[in-house]
Structure 1
């Protein structure tokens, strides 16, 4: 009894192995790169190979190998190749072709391939979208796809009317991009790299317009233009943020120059007003450093806000420092507390006053005898 259960278990395992037959598909030829234009005739060729082993069979007898295409007027020339011997099947038409497992099931160790030639026309579409040019599936007895049993090649099929509409929309977007560039230039941003992307997009759109009825070429140029605009906007954003950081750094340098004047030229390093300005200056620097950190990790939106905040605060601190400098410089030298000889002058004045008082008192004593 135990031996019977064991044999049954082994039979089930063998069935599972056979049912999990894998296939590989040679890269099809005859499929153009890029998007497809309705009405284009394709001639596709490929070969399906089946794994061989020491047990089981080349393909489960209860399964089905299914071929499908979205191409119109499809014609299928299929040959079953067993140990290098071709066995052509009758020519078939239509979008779907099925080969039963009965035709593909052979003892393990035999070399089984299915050679496929597909001819068809790219269909007309109401909206640009993906279509299955070639799909190969292994289905079980319930027409469910086996795990890992599907191979598909999809291509984008263009609606010519949409291409022209998209070109018009891209041209409008390009003009908006141009305005964004000009605004950045007005703020002093270096847009050299951005200008190159703009010029590339402009030339690509001109080529798309000039492609005429060659919809595939027009779509290709349109895609290039869109990519250039997208890349250009990223560069512009990066340049704007970098400019904001550089400008904030420039203001920080001006603050440092005024602080150096106070500490070096006026010996006011301990002055409470100077100490307060130095503290505010450090806050500005901290904001700039944070903005730089976010810029390095490409968090441009946050970096730009932080750089602009640093710039606003930095300009406010600079004005405060410059006002204090003007105030200090407006004080007459003779009473400037930053000048050490002031105390000498005051001392001399005190001595003169004291001397005058002493002399006057002495005369008063002399007169009194």
Structure 2
């Protein structure tokens, strides 16, 4: 009989319940672990994942698999833990084992596509997402991810159609609206892209990536003051947002004197916010003085400072964020597309 899949909502296990579960399972495992079932080990793995302990979770899933190697959900969850560590080849093996046991499970095909995409194997990822869409045509997620990988392959019109399908199914998906905006931007349709980013912001107003992308569309349309306001809003939400700083820096030559002063204050903020991180570099913060102003002028200084800040954030701590730079975006701006935030862990 096939195992029953149960999604784990994020709010089901609170911190107190999680601590009790971990303590109970730890005491049982410390006694030798002979009395723990595959389900117990799998639950321990799920709890460890919630704590960000991916390596420990993988070991727990291995113990579960040793007791029950025919449960596709355990293979699936182990694959997600491996993917969280960037171990995509090993994750692929887990998804392969899981899909052999349950070949019509769309979640396994979506997870397989995500791992393949992480390896840069976009054609194979497209095939996996297409299989997932075939098995769950009413689920927006595979259509959205299919659109993203089609865009990475340069097949923009097909990407647009797939993302539109996702939005027909779930018009409240901010990720899909953002992806639609990115695809339209790459087609040069910036007015339409702007509408998409605005719709996404209505759904997730506190998401700095969306404000960055809105700024990029405005930037491309020559609406520089509004673009500057969007980039500033993104930085206000996330002072270490390297893409917004980069784009802000490229915008500096278009700004008036009043906006330059405001931007200089923002630059002051980024140096304060990153002071601890920058201590590792051994460098000193550059000062604004008459000599510097004579050498490059205010606009040049601000532009260089913002782009340098973006690079500094990326090198000294911005790595591993939950977004990618869109490889197809124009060189002027950096757009952000989301990764697979919707992969769901399961109970055995």
TM range (shorter): under 0.3
Q: Which has the higher helix share?
A: 2
Larger Rg: 1
Considering fraction of residues, name the structure with more strand: 1
If the length of structure 2 is used for normalisation, what is the TM-score? 0.22
Report 1 or 2 for greater relative contact order, CA contacts < 8 Å, sequence distance ≥ 6.
Answer: 2
Give me the TM-score of the superposition, normalised by structure 1: 0.21
